[in-house]
């Protein structure tokens, strides 16, 4: 299996953005100041107060002549109203739906291989990468169910790599992985240096880069000498990643996991808890974040390496979904992220003690047998799941008020198919 042959790109600056309170104002301000182009990819876009705020700045940007490309996921964003979509497309926003699918008996059918990335690029100069979607549940005003999450604002040459990837995702006759088969772009064609951080932009797909993000995690953990801190919402990694965590702890590295203590879905905590004993006995310290649901996907090792992105450490992210993380080598950013996570542990987390894992030896041995073999063979079993060719469908701007009623994202597949049969509008990508 090939992996992305990328070099670390120097000269970047990163700003850690914690939760929607920091992320949304920064992104919206960047869009408001855009002069040429805005590229957005997101798994979830809801028609709530956050979605409406994004709608306003995108419409305003498109009306002043900025090219706006918005890619949403057909599973994650299935219910945008016709008025919401028509407001975007009539203003000139180019709306694309990744793998739209019809509902069967009211249920969504396109469950696997989702476009889970969260990327923004403005004028090829400023980029945002992380795990924050466009929905009100990323704001504290949402209440106890508000999510704890992270993103980074990126400046410097790495933005050029992210920009090229975002463009490539929308090209009609190219595979999404084409960018990574080419040589890395010359530094002279990228934005000028903006700081001292080295960076990699790493994605996962279902063709040639199926385990690239996991590979970088494993390399970083294997190289760790002092500390490993991983805060991840959906935790059920493969056998090799678990092995690296155990090995690091056994050689004296302080390995800490921050996982969900108040999960948005109960199955999340149950699945992760099946691995607790296996990790705790090796010396890994596990903390459950108990203030609200944890949605973050961040990690750091020692004093230099960090990552922020969309990839969870579970079968969906590591074996099925399209993901994007930025890997950062920078002492200052690492220290900032570590200080925040350390505060999270001190104030809002519960340490899982060995006494908390008391259970019958028979049950533990039986469970460990099945969990071990499940983890041992995934992600190879992911190939058995539906492997259709996902498409990026463009939603055409309505020609008449009557047509506007049919342009909701939930009906994008039918609209695009109608346009495709007429020879206009729709386009597909792998």
Domains of the chain, by residue range, sit at: 9-43+117-384
Strand duo 227-232 + 297-301: pairing: antiparallel
Report residue 372's pLDDT band, with 50, 70 and 90 as the boundaries: low
From the list 55, 73, 96, 118, the catalytic residue is: 118
pLDDT value of position 85? 97
Active site residue 123: yes
pLDDT beyond 60 at 204: yes
Residue 238 confidence (pLDDT) above 70:
yes
Is 118 an annotated catalytic residue?
A: yes
Q: Which of 180, 209, 277, 295 is catalytic?
A: 295
- First-residue to last-residue Cα distance in the chain: 19
Model pLDDT, residue 178: 42
d(CA 223, CA 76): 36
The active-site residue, picked from 147, 209, 277, 297, is: 297
Domain 9-43+117-384 has CATH 3.30.870.10: yes
pLDDT digits (tens, 9 = 90+) for 58-83: 999 999 999 999 999 999 998 899 99
More confident of the two residues 176 and 325: 325
Distances (CA, A) of 304 to 8, 81, 152, 299, 330: 13, 45, 16, 11, 5
Mapping DSSP to helix (H, G, I), strand (E, B) and coil, where does residue 390 land? coil
Q: What are the residues facing 199 on neighbouring strands?
A: 9, 328
Q: Which of 55, 73, 99, 116 is catalytic?
A: 116
Parallel, antiparallel or unpaired: strands 67-73 and 94-98: parallel
In order of 268, 270, 274, 358, 376, the CA distances from 363 in angstroms are 20, 15, 11, 11, 20
Strand partners, 72: 42, 97
Question: From the candidates 48, 168, 196, 302, which is the catalytic residue?
Answer: 302
Answer yes or no: 116 catalytic: yes
Closest Cα to residue 412, out of 75, 174, 167, 69? 75
Known catalytic residue: 269?
A: no
Q: Which of 123, 168, 254, 264 is catalytic?
A: 123
Are 165 and 179 in contact, with CB atoms under 8 Å apart?
Answer: yes
Q: DSSP secondary-structure letter at 142?
A: G
**Least confident stretch, 16-25, 306-315, 361-370:** 361-370
Dihedrals φ, ψ of 424, to 5°? -135, 160
295 is catalytic: yes
């Amino acid at each position: 299996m090939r992996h992305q042959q990328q070099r670390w790109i120097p000269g970047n600056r990163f700003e850690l953005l914690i939760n929607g309170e920091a992320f949304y104002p920064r992104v919206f301000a960047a869009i408001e100041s855009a002069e040429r182009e805005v590229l957005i990819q997101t798994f979830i876009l809801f028609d709530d107060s956050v979605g409406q705020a994004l709608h306003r700045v995108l419409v305003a940007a498109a009306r002043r002549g900025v090219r706006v490309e918005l890619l949403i996921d057909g599973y994650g964003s299935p219910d945008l109203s016709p008025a919401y979509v028509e407001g975007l497309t009539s203003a000139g926003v180019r709306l694309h739906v990744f793998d739209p699918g019809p509902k069967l008996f009211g249920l969504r059918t396109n469950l696997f291989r989702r476009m889970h990335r969260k990327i923004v690029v403005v004028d090829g100069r400023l980029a945002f990468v992380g795990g924050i979607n466009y929905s009100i549940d990323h704001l504290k005003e949402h209440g106890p169910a508000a999510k704890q999450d992270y993103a980074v604002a990126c400046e410097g040459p790495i933005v050029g790599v992210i920009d090229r990837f975002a463009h490539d995702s929308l090209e009609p006759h190219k595979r999404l992985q084409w960018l990574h088969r080419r040589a890395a772009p010359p530094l002279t064609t990228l934005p000028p240096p903006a700081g001292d951080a080295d960076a990699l932009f790493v994605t996962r797909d279902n063709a040639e880069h199926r385990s690239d993000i996991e590979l970088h995690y494993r390399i970083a953990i294997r190289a760790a000498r002092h500390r490993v801190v991983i805060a991840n919402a959906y935790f059920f990694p493969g056998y090799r990643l678990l092995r690296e965590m155990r090995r690091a702890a056994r050689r004296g590295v302080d390995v800490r996991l921050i996982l969900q203590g108040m999960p948005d879905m109960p199955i999340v905590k149950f699945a992760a808890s099946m691995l607790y004993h296996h990790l705790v006995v090796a010396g890994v310290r596990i903390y459950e974040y108990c203030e609200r649901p944890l949605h973050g996907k961040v990690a750091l090792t020692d004093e230099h390496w960090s990552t922020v992105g969309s990839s969870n450490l579970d079968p969906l992210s590591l074996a099925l979904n399209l993901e994007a993380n930025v890997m950062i080598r920078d002492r200052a950013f690492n220290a900032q992220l570590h200080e925040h996570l350390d505060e999270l542990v001190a104030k809002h987390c519960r340490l899982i003690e060995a006494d908390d894992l008391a259970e019958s030896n028979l049950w533990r041995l039986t469970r460990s047998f099945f969990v071990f073999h499940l983890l041992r063979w995934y992600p190879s079993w992911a190939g058995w799941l539906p492997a259709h060719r996902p498409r990026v469908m463009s939603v055409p701007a309505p020609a008449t008020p009557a047509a506007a009623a049919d342009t909701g994202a939930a009906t994008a597949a039918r609209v695009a198919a109608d346009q495709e049969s007429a020879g206009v509008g729709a386009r597909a990508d792998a």
